[in-house]
Amino acid sequence: MNRRATASVCIVTYNSESDIERCIQAVLRQSHPPERIVVVDNASSDHTCEVVRRFGPPVQLVENRDNVGFAPGQNQAIGLTNSDYVLVLNPDVELAPDYLSILIHWMESHPEFGSATGQLVLASNPGIIDSTGIDMGHTRRAWDCGSGEPVSSWGESGETFGVSGAACVYARRMIEDVSLDRQFYDESYFAYKEDVDVAWRARLLGWKSYYLAEAKALHERGWKYEGRSSRKQIPLFLRRHSYQNRIYTIIKNEPGGWRMLLSIPRLIALEIAQIGYITLFEPGLLKCWLAIVQSLPRLLRQRAILQRRIKERKVKL
């Protein structure tokens, strides 16, 4: 008889008192019970930690003295697990009872897929899609697949570029394979685009990602969703990270060779236009370029490591 695949759930909280109890309760109702639920709290000033403590085992609480951000917090949580699969989960997501079971069952049957996600809909309007994965266009701007579209348009499962860090399952085999500098998520990404970076890196190394429409979850997007049409609702600090992390991701992952010769001129032209827009309407973002320049040696080193791994893998094939 085959051993049943094990799973852990990793949640990073920051002033999540209003959401975390409902989130954990949904996790505890999973038909495929996780062996461990790790909650890393980033110095919340509300009662988040008190709510989490009330659950007891299998819920483990880690209290950080400072807000280290999403990526470092998730790496902390993942490092405390050794299960076959890891569900990375936002505290404002409520899973259907079979969410974890559906994703793990499919991934067990398709080992080439290192990540999977279900159908996330808006809690405020369950007829509207929040995310069915991540896609990326030729401008190297990533977006949530299906975001804002009717649920009826997304009833068919299929391969996707990557998965959103709001509620996704990663296989341990992929986590270990794609990590750079012993980090799964790049910890320089305080918030935003860390899931895009992982998705791109994983694809370059031969891993696939899948969307399963029958796995359902509710996501409380709040102002973040509204901010898509009014960027000023998003704090400047977070907009800076989103912008600079996109540049980080391109530098690290843009394929080399002739494809780069074709893509770089287009990307530079688009970025010049973007800088013009920022100068006029969001000048506070320009400070990002100091961080980008300072980070360039590290980014190029990581790029070289990744390119070497890609070449080694092609030789083996």
> Is 101 a residue whose pLDDT tops 80?
yes
The answer as to whether 100 is a domain residue is no
What is the distance between the alpha carbons of residues 219 and 93, in angstroms, rounded to a whole number? 5
Task: Of 130, 292, 117, 96, give the one whose Cα is nearest residue 221.
Answer: 130
Q: Would strands 167-171 and 85-89 be described as parallel, antiparallel, or unpaired?
A: antiparallel
In DSSP terms, 85 is beta-bridged to 7, 171
Residue with tokens 């030789």: 315
The answer as to whether 26 is a domain residue is no
Q: Would strands 85-89 and 93-95 be described as parallel, antiparallel, or unpaired?
A: unpaired
Q: Which two tokens stand for residue 96?
A: 């259907």
**How many folded domains does the chain comprise?**
1
The answer as to whether 85 is a domain residue is no
Task: Of 66, 79, 84, give the one whose Cα is nearest residue 10.
Answer: 79
Quote the pTM value.
0.91
Angle (CA) 197 205 184, round 5°:
45
Q: Which two tokens stand for residue 237?
A: 């600090």
pLDDT tens figures, 120-162: 999 999 999 999 999 998 878 899 999 999 999 999 999 999 9
The answer as to whether 236 is a domain residue is yes
CB distance 164 to 134 below 8 Å:
yes
What is the distance between the alpha carbons of residues 114 and 117, in angstroms, rounded to a whole number? 11
Hey, is 226 helix, strand or coil? helix
The answer as to whether 266 is a domain residue is yes
Q: Which two tokens stand for residue 130?
A: 């929040």
Range of the domain at 294: 231-316
Mean pLDDT throughout 289-306?
95
Helices 236-253 and 258-281, axial angle in degrees (round to 10): 170
pLDDT tens figures, 10-41: 999 999 999 999 999 999 999 999 999 999 99
Q: Which two tokens stand for residue 218?
A: 């509710």
